[in-house]
Amino acid sequence: MLKILKYFFFLKNVIFKFKKLHKREIIIFDSSNVDSLKEIIPKDKYFVLPVRPSEIKEIYLSFKLIIFLIENIFKRSPKQNYLNFIIQQVDPKTVVTAVETSADFYFSADYFKETKIKFVAIQHSCLRGAGFVNDENLNKIIYIPNFLCFSEYEKKLFKNTKAKIKRYLPVGSLRASLFIRRLKNKNLNIIKKVYDICLIGEPSSRTTNDLKNISDYYEIPGKVAEYTLRVCKKNNLKLIFSGKNQTFNNSHLEEKQYYKYFLKDYDYTIVPKENSFSTFENAFKSELIIGHNSTFLREISALHKKVLSLNFLGHDEFKEPFSGITYLEKFSFEEFEKRVLELIQLNHDEYRKKFVNSPEFISITAADTIENIKKEIL
């Protein structure tokens, strides 16, 4: 009954369009993270295919669609059949997604695996958290023909799983590369260091499904923030606390409330995001970037910035790809303080020499990322 009601409310809020779909060279699969892809694909070449019920506003209806749905009614869900039909009608050369964790993408890629359509997933998340890699039922549905990932680490991450990733191509972070292009195009000069430390906001929620297999994870980002503010206060270091969410987003209020609980004894300001590059700008103006499980640590590493990745409880999921001077686990405040002060004093050449794994294992440099991605999808 609940499922029927969901379908009813979904259909009530969409517009049905009775028109033929035009052929496009590229389908952008899933409208999440779509802005980064739109910056590198010419507008006349792509068709955006939303896949999440909350983002599907139009249904392209036709007699052919009805026949296709009837013929495949017992093979797949109505949603999956609809997505496959749209891909078939648009007949693209490439289907690309910036949501590499999309089950819908896996199912469609598998459906079209005997065709000439190229399916490409571009990495936008870190993938280290408990569940995605360690849950056998989850990772066995993964089917990615071409995975444009941050580094060789992803190949190691999935090596002993049932995930079917046909081809790994380490290209680095698209967002990091777009940020560098933005600096050049706008002649922005933010090379000068303004802050000693940039702390990455990573508020946790008790209701999230992320990292649900890790006990006490809810408190860890708060403890990381408390240690960071304490070391700044004690050593007179200048901090920018880079928030995860934008001001107009209710999540920013939740973020403020989350950290307020852990940071009662400190004066601080969480700087909300202004745009998709705000965190890069904050980090670029800082000597050292500190975080726990944030994907951003890998992305900013691609821009040759010093980072400290913290694994507060020593969980196996967070032991790589950071290593050596860039990584600290099961630490006391005194150990944390010592490492932070050491990192701030090191120049970048000295910093790189203290890696165990190479910097390229964290993320390929962002210098050629855009061009390498364009070669694969255009």
Structure tokens belonging to residue 30: 């899933």
In one-letter notation, the amino acid at residue 123 is Q
Q: Decide: 292 and 224 in contact? Cβ < 8 Å.
A: yes
Q: Which residue has the higher pLDDT, 199 or 249?
A: 199
Same domain for 145 and 261, yes or no, is: no
Q: Which residues contact 368 (CB under 8 A, 6 or more apart)?
A: 171, 172, 177
Domain assignment present for 333: yes
Question: Can you name the residues that pair with 288 across neighbouring β-strands?
Answer: 197
Same domain for 373 and 355, yes or no, is: no
Structure tokens belonging to residue 157: 């991450």
Q: Is the pLDDT of residue 1 over 80?
A: no
pLDDT reported for residue 18: 84
Same domain for 36 and 103, yes or no, is: yes
| Strands 239-246, 143-144: pairing kind | unpaired
Domain assignment present for 182: no
Question: Tens of pLDDT along 272-311?
Answer: 888 888 999 999 999 999 999 889 999 999 999 999 999 9
Same domain for 197 and 171, yes or no, is: no
User: Domain limits at 171?
Assistant: 2-176+368-377
Same domain for 113 and 211, yes or no, is: no
What is the rounded CA–CA span in Å between residue 212 and residue 60?
Answer: 38
pLDDT band at 205 (very low <50, low <70, confident <90, very high): low
Same domain for 213 and 163, yes or no, is: no
pLDDT reported for residue 6: 65
Q: Decide: 122 and 98 in contact? Cβ < 8 Å.
A: yes
C-alpha angle with apex 100: 53 to 21, nearest 5 degrees?
Answer: 50
What is the rounded CA–CA span in Å between residue 45 and residue 208?
Answer: 37
Question: Tens of pLDDT along 222-275?
Answer: 999 999 999 999 999 999 999 988 776 677 788 888 999 999 999 999 998 888
Domain assignment present for 183: no
Reduce the secondary structure of the chain to three states and give it as a string: CHHHHHHHHHHHCCEEECCCCCCCCEEEECCCCHHHHHCCCCHHHEEEECCCCCCCCEEECCHHHHHHHHHCCCCCCHHHHHHHHHHHHHCCCEEEECCCCCHHHHHHHHHCCCCCCEEEEECCCCCCCCCCCCCHHHHCCCEECEEEECCCHHHHHCCCCCCEECCEEECCCHHHHHHHHHHHHCCCCCCCCCEEEEEECCCCCCCCCCCCCCCCHHHHHHHHHHHHHHHHHHHCCCEEEEEEEECCCHHHHHHHHHHHHHCCCCCCCEEEECCCCHHHHHHHCEEEEEECCCCHHHHHHCCCCCEEEEECCCCHHHCCCCCHHHEEECCCHHHHHHHHHHHHHCCHHHHHHCCCCCHHHHCCCHHHHHHHHHHHHC
Same domain for 19 and 147, yes or no, is: yes
Residue 70 exposed, middle or buried by CB count within 10 Å (0-12, 13-18, 19+): exposed
Domain assignment present for 235: yes
Same domain for 165 and 262, yes or no, is: no
Question: Can you name the residues that pair with 291 across neighbouring β-strands?
Answer: 309
Same domain for 69 and 192, yes or no, is: no
Question: Tens of pLDDT along 4-44?
Answer: 666 556 666 778 888 889 899 999 999 988 999 999 999 99
Question: Tens of pLDDT along 98-152?
Answer: 999 999 999 999 999 999 999 999 999 888 654 667 777 888 899 999 999 999 9
Question: Can you name the residues that pair with 22 across neighbouring β-strands?
Answer: none
Domain assignment present for 307: yes
Percent of the chain with pLDDT over 70: 90
pLDDT band at 68 (very low <50, low <70, confident <90, very high): very high
- The CATH number of the domain holding residue 69 is 3.40.50
Same domain for 172 and 253, yes or no, is: no
Residue count (the chain): 378
Average pLDDT, the chain: 89
Cα–Cα nearest to 249, from 214, 230, 276: 276
Same domain for 107 and 23, yes or no, is: yes
When divided into structural domains, the chain yields a total of 2
Question: Can you name the residues that pair with 170 across neighbouring β-strands?
Answer: 149
- The CATH number of the domain holding residue 332 is 3.40.50.2000
Domain assignment present for 289: yes
- In this prediction, residues 207-234 reach a mean pLDDT of 78
Other residues' Cβ atoms within 10 Å of the Cβ of residue 330: 10
Q: Decide: 196 and 286 in contact? Cβ < 8 Å.
A: yes
What is the rounded CA–CA span in Å between residue 307 and residue 362?
Answer: 11
pLDDT band at 208 (very low <50, low <70, confident <90, very high): very low
Domain assignment present for 290: yes
Structure tokens belonging to residue 208: 């999230």
- In this prediction, residues 361-366 reach a mean pLDDT of 93
Domain assignment present for 181: no
- In this prediction, residues 71-81 reach a mean pLDDT of 93
Same domain for 70 and 200, yes or no, is: no
